[in-house]
Chains A and B, each alone.
Chain A
Amino acid sequence: MGVLDYFKSIPAMTAEEVRQFITEKHPDDYNLVDVRQPREYEIDHIPGANLIPMAELKDRLDEIDPGKPTIVY
């Protein structure tokens, strides 16, 4: 990934929007991905989140259902 990629606008949701989204939807209707390190996940994570540390993401794309919206934190 190039430096310029950081300047592209990335689709985002506020934490409040995410909370509302999760409350209204069934856990099967979206992917919720925690890309932090296992140690961070251990301390706290959003319930139901799938832990895929950033460094492993590109090798574990098959764990994310492309047919569903995805929230990353």
Chain B
Amino acid sequence: MIYLAVSLIAAAWLAPLVVVVLNSLRTNEEIAQGSMIGWPQHLAWSNYAAAWSGFCVAETCAGIRPYMLNSALVTIPATIFSTLLGAIAGYAVSLWRFRGDNWIYGIVTLGLFLPQQMRLLPWTIVLRDVGLINTLTGLVLIHTIQGLSFTTLFCRSYYVAIPHELIRAARIDGAGFFRIFWRIILPLSGPILIVTVIWQFTHIWNEFLYGVTFITGQQQPVTAALIALSAAVADIPQHGVQSAAVIIAALPTLLIYLLGGKYFVRGLTAGAVK
């Protein structure tokens, strides 16, 4: 009984993925004749080639590849910067302690709650004034600064469990801030750094609002390009190719989830119990 119920629900949860994977292997004509839900008559692998580097969004016909590259160029640096700076900040507010640390930490964590809509106009003006509007560097800057709220919180709550005596002993031996960080803290940080990197990567890769607001045309990340693609082909849908594009766009975060599932879930629940 339990198995039946659970399997049925699991099937329902998997269905959308299965449908899209199957469609990515059917030709556009085959889908147009029947429905989106069906078994491929013969495997149309050419959809993936077309999605990757063939089809047209707006006036350019380079497939999804340039947009995947844009997303990678934003996501990878922003993930590294925000994680590293968050680890240092988390270490400083949990183990080093300085005047005003509670205050500033409190304000930084408010960033978990402040809606993006409250920051849209100010970011527009800041990006324009520093000449980063419509650049990937601008997005890296935004995601690094905003990501700090999460990364500092994650790292701090992990580091507070490290015994203070360890730090005190190292300080008496004359080790400074960075030396303690490199020699003692970083070697202990493996799990929390994995959690933070997975969380940041998934969030930044999947982000849409900033990508569509501050970036136009060829520079857009892949989430924005998918929307532009659906709009562009609205008259003559190419559902086979579109399905392949959706799969490609979702693949990086799905792979990370499959490889680091345990850490992915830990990030989810850690973010929840803030």
The reply to whether chain A is a binding partner of chain B is no
Residues of A participating in the B interface, judged by any CB pair closer than 8 Å = none
